[in-house]
Structure 1
Amino acid sequence: IRNIAIAAHVDHGKTTLTDNLLAGAGMIADEGEATRLMMDTEEDEQERGITIDAANVSMTHEYEEQNHLINLIDTPGHVDFGGDVTRAMRAVDGALVVVDAVEGAMPQTETVVRQALREGVKPALFINKVDRLISELQEGPQEMQERLMDVIGDVNELIRGMTEDMDNVEDWTVSVEDGTVAFGSALYKWGVSAPSMARTGIGFPEIIEMERNDQRLELHEQTPLSDVVLDMVAEHFPNPLDAQPRRIPRVWRGDDEAELARQMQEVDDDGEVVFMVTDISMDPHAGEIATGRLFSGTIKQGQELYVSGTVGQNRVQSVGIFMGGEREELDRGVPAGNIAAVTGLRDAIAGSTVSSVEMTPFESIEHISEPVITKSVEAKNMDDLPKLIETLQQVAKEDPTIRVEINEDTGEHLISGQGELHLEVITQRIQKNQGIPVQTGEPIVVFRESPQDASREVEGVSPNRHNKFYITVQPLSDDVVDAIKLGEVSMDMPELERREALQEAGMDKDTSQEVEHIHGTNILIDDTKGIQHLNETMELVIEGLEEALNDGPL
């Protein structure tokens, strides 16, 4: 088994590459140039020519006389839909990073590499659109190789910068020699790598000659892209048995001596069911589908499972895997190590831990960016208001990077997202898919500010005048903020572990021992000395703090 994601900057060719892999696996017809975009199943994705939702597919590939099941997630490249990439990385063990040979590594390339490494996901590199270097830029073998080596160098620079604190940094970098880099054209369906060149004798001089002689079909037949890429996936990406012992301590803070930890690290089919939901989607026939990674056990129809953060159990209605846009149900269930699609988990949201026993949940999925733009949404017909409210709640459940709230002063429904395109897609889908005519207000950019220096003490007095609170605000260091954003520090951690992580990020020892709460990238410190019964009111203090932070600019 290989669980992989394809990730890249927008328009670098991820979905066209995925079409190639599907054709190579015999799942779609191999029809000339690969422009079908099978994984863009939504109408608006086809119209806009970009991937909006992460799409799952399972395929088989024979490598060294062994059949491999490859569970693949095609992720969006546009920055507005980066939340899908973040969630996909929790489900996979390998990330195939696609880079345009002409444009090189772009801002979103850096983001997807960061997201992969943060989750302990091993990268490999496919440099796409090499045909453009020959046909448009008229480059010769020497110029081409220099340009391609520059791209590899840029990607490795990103990787080294993000793995400085990890063991064996070079294990994470990519290189032509060890076969973790491939080159090619997803549009014309040919590809090469060091192992393929050795096997076929087709290198860059032959590619240039065949491209210039318009022999692209022969090039595809002699060195098909799908074989080159899927061979690289099978050879260099870890299977769940190798990946989970390394990844479990990174994403789960439970007792590593417990039987459950052993079952997850050994990918035990017969163990307790432990399933991490990474995506929620709606199917008009099946209802809500929870997709995610099964770390242990076998998930089957009829099981009663716990969902983290909720009371009681949910009953599994059906279990299957995705084949393109279609979900194939499996009566025998799905075993550990796979990406599964499950219905019946009504209480689950993206990020939920689902299990057959009550357990410490997985670390929450930390999204790199938070909502930056807000629009008001209202139903044109008042009769549609209840349906609109229900739809907005469902949208927030499916996409954790969307925030939905009601402005208590005006009664307006406000949705906040990653950008104008993000909100435009959401509102269009509400109108098209749900049949609710809506009108939206002008976009408002979310305002944020941070203190430059420590403030004076501000006094707050309780209504009965018997209690006084004093609070000051001061900036956190960039290293502490980064540690919170990267999930290295959270209230879910054991207290001792949290203190050590804060001290590593530069916070002094005394302050790290007085942390009461973390909300967003803000920390509440209890600096009081000898105050009795403070713990009885601390919950209310935290509630007030969260309300002020949610509604204010800090």
Structure 2
Amino acid sequence: MATRSDLRNVAIIAHVDHGKTTLVDAMLWQSGVFRENQDVNERVMDSMDLEREKGITILAKNTAVRWVSDDGPVTLNIVDTPGHADFGGEVERALEMVDGVLLLVDASEGPLPQTRFVLRKALHKKLPVVLVVNKVDRPDSRISEIVDQTYELFLDLLDDPQADTAALDFPIVYASARAGRASLTQTPDGGLPEETDLRPLLETILKTVPAPSYTEGAPLQAHVTNLDASPYLGRLALCRIHQGRLQRGATVAWCRRDGTVEKVKVTDLLITEALDRVPADEAGPGDIVAIAGIPEITIGETLADVDAPNPLPVIHVDEPSISVTIGINTSPLSGQSGSKVTARLVKNRLDAETIGNVSIRVLDTERPEVWEVQGRGELQLAVLVEIMRREGFEITVGKPQVVTREIDGKVHEPVERVTIDVPEEYVGVVTQLLGLRKARLEQMVNHGTGWVRLDYLVPARGLIGFRTEFLTETRGTGLVHHVFEKYEPWAGELRTRPRGSLVADRRGAVTAYACFNLQERGTLFVKPGTEVYEGMIVGENSRQDDMDVNACREKKLTNVRSSTADELERLVPAKELSLEQALEFCREDECVEVTPNAIRIRKMALSQTDREKSRARARKN
């Protein structure tokens, strides 16, 4: 086997907000990609508007860093992956492109659920790991304890006893990505690494991550791991070349998912230099390239030699665990702000999403204008809906539900591993909240700093709507992270939302006079002047039952003077729900109307009479 010593392919994996994208920024700066006086945004790899707004990475992206080592110049292809488990499909695709990983762990928070998830995937593929303890300069860092916890995580995830010794022999680098510094010697808690740049980290990557290997003279094999689009070239397929060489203008064999083989021409070939894709005449084993000219190519397929079309294994990812229904907007206000409102346009957009997102499934339902969309979690599905909203779609989204499985004749449901960090005074209320959701406490650790960490196993449906209630009860101080763990037998009925809805009984504009009276009944979601319709939810009732209310009521004016003049009343500001909060708020008989200009919660059956008939039928049954 031959190797390419001038190339390394590495992915950066970590829990969300542990500093992956910031570390890539520092690598780009120190490799000379930017001028000293160049104005560059922070987290330059997060190019989507949603990524910048939410502060998370949603799509895996790759960049190339040129580094001059003691043995000569080396190109580092670095893949920045999402940390949130909802986008785990992106992580699994990224691991198909690389030969090693950097595992980032926060020096204060330590390994969290998504750390376990991404490390499990890397160990399953037997990829070498470089542990980077990041943010060592945090005042609350506890480096030695975090390293011990990481070793425990490795031991917990390694099932094969023969693999323990090799996998546990990983190098440790202590870094501050924001400061652009790294060291191989442990720093004091809260102190900066002794080196002034990232050279120790980059040299460790070169020693630990193997160079791409290949067989001399072997026929072409290139694996499609991601898709992109160019306004000039059309669909781009991002490929990792495993064997052979790929040339611009060459005719290759396209090995499709269904087993068929078709001859196609590579019209353009691009390689990554820093943040840009530049044209190239050819690429060899180990290179990560983008090709154009095959408009229907999808993820997991293989480009091979015409005379020896040997496909690589198709990429498989974990199955979805959460689903929502998405359909056309059927409210009285439909078509007022969106340009894409028909069932055909919605279905075409959902089908297009499944091409580039391997962890999304779209299934037909009994109704021709409604589809079931399955994904990894609420955030992933909410991001899809938000992107569609910004593209001009008007849609109706149902309450998130869990995807069940039948195992040995019994219904099983997904169970999540939940890690919660809260101040000591809120431990009781959090325990009570999760107890109602049939959670099992695995571990409780008091760090001695006034904060307690709780590890739970919770049915996934118990977490739908949990985050909002959790933040309310902990006054916004608590932190919660969760990741899919396994399937377990159905846990029985769980407590639903404790309070009912305030439902508008007519169409019209909300008045301040009506709001003054309704705010005593509960929390309002609308403010004066908002257009409402019958069946639209205007607030949360303080009691358990739903209440139909007149949100458009006006004060009748007469020429009779009152003995008591009108008194000034203060109107409580309306609670504006984000898309994620609106989806969490929904009950089974409610849905969310999503348009470019508004997010409204409504009843499935808008008519009060129809809802009464449904309740009567339910009581009979």
Work out which of the residue numbers 171, 179, 182 in structure 2 matches 1:191. 182
- Note the C-alpha offset of 1:376: 0.8
Work out which of the residue numbers 291, 296, 315 in structure 2 matches 1:365. 315
- Note the C-alpha offset of 1:410: 4.0
Instruction: Tell me, yes or no, if structure 1 residue 41 matches structure 2 residue 59.
Output: no
Work out which of the residue numbers 255, 267, 270 in structure 2 matches 1:307. 255
- Superposition pairs of residues 259-278 of structure 1, within 5 angstroms: 265-266=214-215, 268=216, 270-278=217-225
Letter in 2 for 1:192: S
TM-score using structure 2 length: 0.59
- Note the C-alpha offset of 1:449: 4.0
Partner residue, 1:279: 226
- Secondary structure at 1:97 match in 2: strand
- Note the C-alpha offset of 1:287: 1.8
Partner residue, 1:343: 292
- Superposition pairs of residues 383-402 of structure 1, within 5 angstroms: 385-402=343-360
Partner residue, 1:261: none
- Superposition pairs of residues 100-179 of structure 1, within 5 angstroms: 100-132=106-138, 136-137=139-140, 147-165=142-160, 167-175=162-170
Letter in 1 for 2:255: V
Q: Contact conserved, 1:19 with 1:34, CA < 8 A, in 2?
A: no
Q: Contact conserved, 1:41 with 1:325, CA < 8 A, in 2?
A: no
Instruction: Tell me, yes or no, if structure 1 residue 204 matches structure 2 residue 169.
Output: no
Structure 2 segments unaligned to the other structure (5+ residues): 1-6, 330-334, 413-486, 488-621
Work out which of the residue numbers 398, 413, 416 in structure 2 matches 1:442. 398
Identity %: 27
Structure 2 CA distance for partners of 1:398 and 1:451, relative to 1, 3 Å: closer
Instruction: Tell me, yes or no, if structure 1 residue 291 matches structure 2 residue 238.
Output: yes
| Separation in structure 2 between the aligned mates of residue 16 and residue 33 of structure 1, nearest angstrom | 16
| Separation in structure 1 between the aligned mates of residue 105 and residue 132 of structure 2, nearest angstrom | 6
Partner residue, 1:327: 277
TM-score using structure 1 length: 0.66
| Separation in structure 2 between the aligned mates of residue 231 and residue 173 of structure 1, nearest angstrom | 20
Letter in 2 for 1:62: V
| Separation in structure 2 between the aligned mates of residue 345 and residue 164 of structure 1, nearest angstrom | 41
Letter in 1 for 2:322: V
- Secondary structure at 2:173 match in 1: strand
Work out which of the residue numbers 13, 26, 31 in structure 2 matches 1:25. 31
Q: Contact conserved, 2:320 with 2:361, CA < 8 A, in 1?
A: no
- Note the C-alpha offset of 1:233: 0.8
| Separation in structure 1 between the aligned mates of residue 37 and residue 184 of structure 2, nearest angstrom | 24
Structure 2 CA distance for partners of 1:447 and 1:240, relative to 1, 3 Å: closer
- Note the C-alpha offset of 1:81: 0.6
Letter in 1 for 2:394: V
Higher Cα Rg, which structure: 2
Structure with the larger strand share = 2
Letter in 1 for 2:351: Q
| Separation in structure 2 between the aligned mates of residue 170 and residue 288 of structure 1, nearest angstrom | 44
Letter in 2 for 1:158: L
Structure 1 segments unaligned to the other structure (5+ residues): 138-143, 195-202, 242-264, 456-472, 476-520, 522-554
Most deviating of 368-377 and 399-408: 368-377
Structure with the larger helix share = 1
- Note the C-alpha offset of 1:431: 3.5
| Separation in structure 2 between the aligned mates of residue 3 and residue 378 of structure 1, nearest angstrom | 43
Work out which of the residue numbers 355, 360, 382 in structure 1 matches 2:304. 355
Partner residue, 2:384: 426
- Note the C-alpha offset of 1:427: 2.2
Q: Deviations over 1:313-354 (max 9, x none)?
A: 232121112345532221x21111111111223332111122
Letter in 2 for 1:240: P
What do you get for the CA RMSD once the two structures are aligned?
2.8
| Separation in structure 1 between the aligned mates of residue 92 and residue 53 of structure 2, nearest angstrom | 25
Partner residue, 1:484: none
Q: Deviations over 1:479-504 (max 9, x none)?
A: xxxxxxxxxxxxxxxxxxxxxxxxxx
- Secondary structure at 1:441 match in 2: strand
Q: Contact conserved, 1:10 with 1:77, CA < 8 A, in 2?
A: yes
Partner residue, 1:458: none
- Note the C-alpha offset of 1:418: 1.5
Partner residue, 1:237: 209
